[in-house]
């Protein structure tokens, strides 16, 4: 069984408040490509051509097709053991917040409850003109070679995700910072910690006194600044971590009748 730093288990076992930040790495074992690893999405596509509003306005059909491909991909995969372990962890901690940079909806499908989606969600779309939410039917109604448009006003339909150069949803960011302030333990999982403001959250939590642990295949950009780095696959490490925590909690619990 994996040996975790004793301080991590101690802090987790006593914690009332835990926050978690996830990145593309947690969905890698489900078959969703990450962004920056070999074979990642940004290796095949240039972000400047696809994930910004100018690119969209220049070539809405191409950008919509890229997102249609990504929606299809995430619908065809399943949450993995890492996602499910975070559902189990949420049940053990009174104040638990799962902050995710992922837009793949897999945490929701696994059953996590308190989710803060910092970069939006691939499965939602809206009209850039009247802001009306768009349905899958609206998206599929486009004629060959034509971009999908809002049935109400004719505006272009875009995915509800954060593109380069755009602000993060304010409410989500406020909730994420508040969770960082409260957290006694903060877990940063499967993120390269290169994209801000998300990448700043673990150290924000640390500044407020949290014990910060990273779980990643390789050390991330902030690995030197966190309290513990646990290297390996999230889908293998997280179930063992939750089981170790469960055992520690039951050892700490007062015996019945005492």
Cα 92 to Cα 66: distance, rounded to the nearest angstrom: 39
Taking the CA of residue 231 as centre, how many other CA atoms within 13 Å lie in the half-sphere pointing to its CB?
5
Residues numbered 178-237 forming contacts with ligand OAD, rule: CB under 6 A: 190-192, 194-195, 216-218, 220, 233-234
Q: Which residues pair with 121 in a beta bridge?
A: 160
Least distance (Å) between residue 32 CB and ligand OAD:
10
How many residues bind ligand OAD, per CB under 6 A? 25
Least distance (Å) between residue 40 CB and ligand OAD:
5
Q: Closer to ligand OAD at the Cβ: 3 or 38?
A: 38
Residue of 50, 240, 58 whose CA lies nearest to 161: 50
Active-site annotation holds for 208: no
Please work out, in degrees rounded to the nearest 5, the angle formed at the alpha carbon of residue 236 by the alpha carbons of 193 and 108: 65
Q: Closer to ligand OAD at the Cβ: 73 or 217?
A: 217
Q: Binding of ligand OAD at residue 159 (CB under 6 A)?
A: no
Q: Closer to ligand OAD at the Cβ: 13 or 172?
A: 172
Least distance (Å) between residue 209 CB and ligand OAD:
25
> CB-based contacts of 219: which residues, under 8 Å, 6+ apart?
229, 231
Measure the N-to-C terminal CA separation of the chain; round to a whole number of Å. Answer: 32
Cα 67 to Cα 123: distance, rounded to the nearest angstrom: 9
Using DSSP bridges, classify how beta strands 120-127 and 157-161 pair: parallel, antiparallel or unpaired: antiparallel
Cα 79 to Cα 81: distance, rounded to the nearest angstrom: 7
Q: Binding of ligand OAD at residue 162 (CB under 6 A)?
A: yes
Catalytic residue among 83, 107, 119, 208: 119
Q: Closer to ligand OAD at the Cβ: 60 or 159?
A: 159
What x-and-dash track marks residues 13-32 binding ligand OAD by CB under 6 A?
----------xxx--xx---
Q: What residues make contact with ligand OAD under the rule CB under 6 A?
A: 23-25, 28-29, 34-37, 40, 51, 101, 119, 162, 190-192, 194-195, 216-218, 220, 233-234
């Amino acid at each position: 069984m994996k040996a975790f730093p004793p301080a991590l288990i101690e802090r987790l076992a006593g914690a009332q408040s835990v926050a978690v930040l996830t990145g593309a790495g947690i969905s890698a074992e489900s078959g969703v490509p990450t962004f920056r690893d070999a074979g990642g999405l940004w290796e095949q596509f240039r972000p400047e051509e696809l994930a910004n509003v100018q690119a969209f306005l220049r070539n809405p059909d191409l950008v919509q097709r890229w997102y249609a491909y990504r929606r299809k991909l995430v619908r065809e995969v399943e949450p993995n053991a890492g996602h499910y372990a975070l559902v189990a962890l949420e049940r053990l901690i009174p104040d638990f917040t799962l902050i995710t940079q992922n837009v793949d909806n897999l945490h929701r499908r696994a059953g996590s409850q308190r989710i803060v989606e910092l970069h939006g969600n691939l499965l939602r779309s809206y009209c850039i003109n009247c802001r009306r939410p768009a349905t899958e039917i609206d998206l599929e109604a486009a004629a060959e070679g034509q971009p999908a448009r809002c049935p109400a006003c004719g505006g272009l339909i875009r995915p509800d995700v954060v593109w380069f150069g755009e602000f993060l949803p304010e409410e989500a960011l406020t909730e994420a910072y508040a969770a960082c302030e409260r957290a006694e333990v903060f877990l940063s999982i499967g993120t390269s910690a290169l994209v801000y403001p998300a990448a700043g959250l673990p150290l924000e939590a640390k500044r407020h006194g949290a014990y910060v642990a990273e779980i990643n295949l390789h050390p991330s950009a902030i690995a030197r600044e966190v309290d513990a780095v646990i290297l390996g696959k999230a889908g293998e490490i997280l179930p063992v971590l939750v089981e170790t925590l469960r055992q520690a909690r039951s050892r700490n619990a007062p015996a019945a009748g005492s």
